[in-house]
DNA sequence: TGTGCCCTGGTA
DNA sequence: TACCAGGGCACA
């Protein structure tokens, strides 16, 4: 855990690295949390920001003390922490959330919004610049997950399934990919990246996506998600390291730069208040 | 189906 | 110093 924490600190100090946790990052964070917390007992929970306090008020914080962490799982971009009484902590990093690990006696970190102190003297802290991340406590049997589509990396997620989910939608395909009911776990970055990879225009109307294009898109989604390098927390967005390790974004945040396939300048448009980056020449 | 909102650090 | 980014939900 110490080693991972050092890696995280290094990653955060490196400005060109994305701080947006998408599915691979959440999966990795979940595994780190699992390794640090399962089998351990919560001594105390501290909430350090009013936004987190709304999600995890004082009575919930108190209920957590003394509970032992039995299991940690991920569903879409949610982390689900099951406790010994069957209650579940639901965690969503939103845009800037992240775990940090250390000793319960450590000083409060920059941007630390909450801290779970464990009875063995360690801690797991929620670091979250924009304070959008939430931790919620659900009593046993009361966790109600939102309506979620299939996991994009599951074998059940096929072109046919995607096309079926898109069949009644008239919104642009890019916006549909962000809808967690269509596919669970894709965020704004990977939606742009997958469409570039599949050579599909982000503006294509969802229900006009052909069977062949849906197959291509599913494969592209897997490609961009699996490009996140194992053993690293962050997907490198831009910069020399990203280029060298083939983890660079192809279009995201690259407005005006040449398309890696055809050298046409990458365009940026806004779809449903979100930025979309794409190549108008090779994405049809 | 579209928009505003929650937030704050980084940038123009 | 004002503005912008964005996940997901409430609401129109």
**pLDDT cut 70: percent of chain A above it:** 86
Q: pLDDT value at position A230?
A: 46
**pLDDT cut 90: percent of chain A above it:** 69
Residues A138-154 have pLDDT tens digits of 999 988 888 899 999 99
Q: Which nucleotide is nearest to A15 (CA to C1')?
A: B10
Residue A50 annotated among the catalytic residues of the structure: no
Residues A171-183 have pLDDT tens digits of 999 999 999 999 9
CA dist A267 and A205 (Å) reads: 19
Residue A22 annotated among the catalytic residues of the structure: yes
pTM above 0.85, yes or no: yes
Distance A163 CA to C9 C1' (A): 25
Residue A21 annotated among the catalytic residues of the structure: yes
Q: pLDDT value at position A15?
A: 30
Taking the C1' atom of B10, which residue's CA lies nearest? A15
Mean pLDDT for A198-226 is 94
Q: Which of A12, A67, A74, A77 is catalytic?
A: A77
């Amino acid at each position: 855990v110490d080693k991972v924490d050092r890696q995280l600190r290094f990653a955060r100090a490196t400005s060109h690295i994305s701080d947006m946790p998408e599915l691979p990052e959440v999966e990795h964070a979940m595994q780190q949390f699992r390794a640090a917390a399962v089998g351990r007992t919560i001594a105390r929970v501290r909430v350090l920001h009013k936004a987190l306090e709304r999600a995890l008020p004082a009575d919930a914080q108190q209920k957590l003390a003394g509970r032992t962490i039995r299991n940690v799982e991920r569903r879409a971009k949610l982390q689900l922490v099951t406790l010994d009484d069957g209650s579940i902590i639901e965690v969503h990093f939103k845009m800037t959330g992240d775990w940090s690990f250390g000793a319960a006696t450590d000083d409060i970190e920059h941007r630390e919004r909450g801290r779970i102190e464990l009875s063995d003297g360690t801690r797991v802290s929620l670091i979250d610049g924009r304070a959008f991340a939430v931790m919620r406590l659900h009593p046993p049997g009361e966790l109600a997950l939102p309506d979620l589509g299939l996991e994009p990396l599951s074998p059940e997620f096929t072109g046919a399934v995607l096309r079926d989910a898109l069949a009644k939608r008239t919104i642009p395909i890019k916006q549909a990919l962000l809808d967690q009911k269509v596919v669970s776990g894709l965020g704004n970055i990977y939606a742009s990246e997958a469409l570039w990879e599949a050579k599909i225009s982000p503006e294509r109307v969802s229900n006009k996506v052909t069977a062949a294009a849906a197959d291509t898109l599913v494969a592209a989604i897997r490609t961009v998600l699996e490009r996140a390098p194992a053993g690293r927390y962050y997907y490198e967005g831009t910069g020399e390291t990203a280029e060298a390790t083939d983890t660079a974004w192809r279009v995201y945040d690259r407005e005006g730069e040449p398309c890696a396939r055809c050298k046409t300048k990458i365009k940026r448009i806004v779809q449903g208040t979100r930025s979309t980056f794409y190549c108008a020449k090779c994405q049809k």
